[in-house]
């Protein structure tokens, strides 16, 4: 059985879909629905015709986490569950350190007790801080994190690395992804933040559909081609498939080291304003946006060299920026249609 933590979340749910279409192994999700919805599992079932069970627990509770392992024969874990909003982490650092670190430690304690030796960790390009040289590859220096969220990913990787040293049979891969966007090509599953979105694309689509009155671009005075931040946007389904490939790698003992890291990005830097223009082109909707001040925790620019993932995992991106925006808009229109049925 493969355990997916945060299975109702954005990337977790798309990875469940990818796994369900490929593996014959039983899948189990744990998710406390703090920033997700139980309805996601109905969407997964509609897409892949396979029901995925979820256990609703908070992974910072060691006793309840242990019970999941006692009741199920878990052989591998893909760990997504974490708080992930950069700005929120700046305002509430203790919340992020408690949730993101304690949940990881609890899972690793259970791995040790129940002899689970295959582990995929949802990491982030935020571990690189503000890179001095672009594009970023896995040998790039780990600079001071620009936010508590980024720091939890740095610390998380260090914890896993130390755990590997103490447990020679344990194999782990950290996937450092850049900026996941878009939705499943069916339009039936996508990013569904609770409350005001902290990520750019759902805020774009919610503004386009009329849920949000206006989008604020946080800073247009950066040292970039149009003054707005540069990010490496990548389709969520491309990200999801990388987790399936990484899991196969450790399960088949194809890993070259106990702890490996891979960047997941398109290799293309896109500014916030360019992302807005791409959305306007594919949707035909003129977006109401304004330029605001910079936001704490944001880095100026980052994009990936993902050659290692291509060479070692056989992973490549399939979707371009227009397709990312088009799928995100299709998902937003689907949500509108569902609201109008109620």
Q: For residues 138 and 147, what is the distance between their CA atoms, to the nearest angstrom? A: 20
* Nearest residue to 156 via CA among 194, 107, 112, 88: 107
Pairing of strands 270-271, 230-231: antiparallel
User: How many other C-beta atoms can be found within 10 angstroms of the C-beta atom of residue 144?
Assistant: 9
Q: What are 328's two structure tokens?
A: 């995100």
* Nearest residue to 247 via CA among 51, 23, 8, 21: 23
Active-site pick, 10, 128, 149, 233? 149
Q: For residues 127 and 105, what is the distance between their CA atoms, to the nearest angstrom? A: 19
177 is catalytic: no
Q: For residues 70 and 72, what is the distance between their CA atoms, to the nearest angstrom? A: 6
Contact residues for 288 (Cβ-Cβ < 8 A; gap 6+): 207, 213, 214, 215
* Nearest residue to 153 via CA among 217, 89, 73: 89
User: Which residue is it, tokens 């982490």?
Assistant: 89
The CA–CA distances, whole Å, from 170 to 52, 108, 245, 259, 268 equal: 26, 10, 18, 9, 34
User: How many other C-beta atoms can be found within 10 angstroms of the C-beta atom of residue 117?
Assistant: 18
Pairing of strands 118-124, 171-177: parallel
Residue numbers annotated as active site = 149
């Amino acid at each position: 059985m493969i355990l997916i933590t945060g299975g109702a979340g954005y990337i977790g749910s798309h990875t469940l879909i990818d796994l369900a279409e490929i593996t014959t192994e039983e899948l189990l999700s744990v998710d406390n629905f703090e920033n997700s919805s139980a309805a996601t599992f109905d969407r997964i079932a509609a897409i892949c015709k396979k029901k995925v069970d979820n256990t609703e627990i908070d992974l910072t509770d060691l006793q309840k986490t242990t019970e999941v392992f006692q009741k199920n024969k878990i052989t591998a874990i893909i760990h997504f569950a974490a708080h992930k909003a950069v700005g929120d982490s700046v305002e509430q650092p203790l919340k992020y350190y408690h949730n993101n670190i304690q949940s990881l430690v609890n899972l690793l304690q259970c791995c040790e007790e129940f002899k689970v030796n295959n582990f995929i960790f949802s990491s982030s390009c935020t571990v690189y801080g503000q890179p001095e040289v672009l594009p970023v590859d896995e040998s790039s220096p780990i600079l001071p994190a620009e936010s508590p969220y980024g720091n939890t990913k740095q610390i998380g990787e260090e914890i896993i690395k130390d755990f590997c040293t103490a447990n020679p049979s344990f194999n782990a891969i950290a996937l450092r992804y850049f900026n996941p966007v878009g939705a499943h090509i069916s339009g039936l599953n996508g990013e569904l933040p609770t409350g005001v979105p902290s990520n750019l694309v759902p805020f774009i689509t919610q503004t386009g559909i009329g849920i949000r009155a206006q989008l604020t671009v946080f800073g247009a005075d950066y040292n970039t081609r149009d003054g707005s931040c540069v990010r490496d946007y990548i389709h969520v389904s491309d990200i999801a498939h990388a987790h399936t490939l990484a899991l196969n790698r450790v399960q088949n003992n194809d890993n070259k080291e106990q702890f490996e890291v891979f960047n997941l990005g398109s290799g293309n830097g896109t500014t916030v304003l360019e992302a807005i223009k791409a959305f306007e082109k594919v949707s035909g909707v003129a977006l109401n946006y304004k330029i605001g001040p910079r936001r704490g925790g944001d880095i100026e620019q980052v994009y990936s060299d993902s050659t290692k993932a291509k060479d070692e995992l056989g992973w490549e991106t399939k979707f371009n920026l227009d397709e990312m925006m088009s799928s995100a808009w299709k998902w937003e229109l689907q949500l509108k249609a569902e609201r109008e049925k109620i």
